[in-house]
Structure 1
Amino acid sequence: MNLITHLDYAGVAVFAATGALAASRKQLDIIGFLFLASITGIGGGTLRDVILDVPVFWVGNRDYVLICAAVAVIVFFTAHRVESRYRLLLWLDAIGISAFAVMGASKGLAVTGSPAVSIITGMLTATFGGILRDLLAGEPSVLLKPEIYVSATLAGATLYTLGDALALPSPVSGVIGFAAAFLVRGGALKFGWSFPAYRSRPGRRPEDIP
């Protein structure tokens, strides 16, 4: 089992944990835990495979669904021991998007050979599951927060793709991509890194328009 496969399993498990933690914050039953964990864990990869027009990864390998189910059950019985579940959710999410940015980029590159597609599939794989989680759980969307989020996945996917273009071994490119995404997202969580936000300006009066 290579590094990319390990990152894939780890990403599914970590994202599933964030979905289950979101369920715990909403005090859902075990079915709610299983549903949110599964949607979060496999949602991004499902969108990626549909776009790439390849068999959906979890249909042919039930291990992914079993991982989501196992994580959901574990979190169901242990979440009450975590005092700040939302903070833990954010940091686990940072790990998850870092792993999925690399995994998504790797699969996009393997299927199409296109660096641009690789970067886009890395970003989509890393972000879509978390978007679904927040939407279904009624949590504030990570996309609407000021801290850097999507840019972290772009950094990870881009550096993985660049490493492949430079003929670096896949494990080396994977580590670089994962580290880049996690450092950017972790820095955003720790230090509040963000890009300048749009500021609206008063419209011009009709008489000022030439």
Structure 2
Amino acid sequence: MTADAVALVTAALQARLESAVGVGKVYVGPPVAEDVADRKLALFLVHVVPSPALRNEQVLVPRPGDADGPLVATDALALDLRYLLSVFRSTGAGPGGGADPDELLTLGAAVQALHERPTIDQVPGQTVRVTPEPCTVEDLSRIWGLLPQSSYRTSMVYLASPVLVTSAPPTRDDRVTERRYRAGVLPDPPGPLAERVGAL
């Protein structure tokens, strides 16, 4: 069962971004300056919706505890995850002060890392594609409007899709393990219809 699929995809994204901007420099959560502290990027899962193209799909997944065994079909809920990627000053994200010119270099390194390796395969049996999501100024304004305690930071939106949450497949086959034979006498089969009617 892939109840941890969303968490695994988020952790994989964080690791990929940290490989580009520095280990420990990517905060996962809302882009609130006090929480981000001296990290360079905030990765915030801002929107989760069912994928309209993959509703009610069956997928093939490994059995629990048998990653090398045969795949089995199971129902899946396909999700689209949208992440807000925001850049912060590398010397601290507290209020006041001008923008760090390295912010644009940080953003460029993050975009490059996700462009060069746009797929995530850390979830067993799944391949998730990460792509930039077109987002207007109005869309960004609405997102930042949900964060009144935060000042706007240079940001992009990324779509990770499809992320499959599957039901647990059966743990084993119901196979025949033994055969039993029972001896007995079968009753006589009923006669023709005319004989049965005449007997009434």
Instruction: State whether TM-score is above 0.5.
Output: no
Q: Whose radius of gyration is greater, 1 or 2? A: 2
Higher RCO structure (Cα 8 Å, ≥6 apart):
2
Per the normalisation by structure 1, the TM-score is: 0.30
As a proportion of its length, which structure holds more helix?
A: 1
Per the normalisation by structure 2, the TM-score is: 0.31
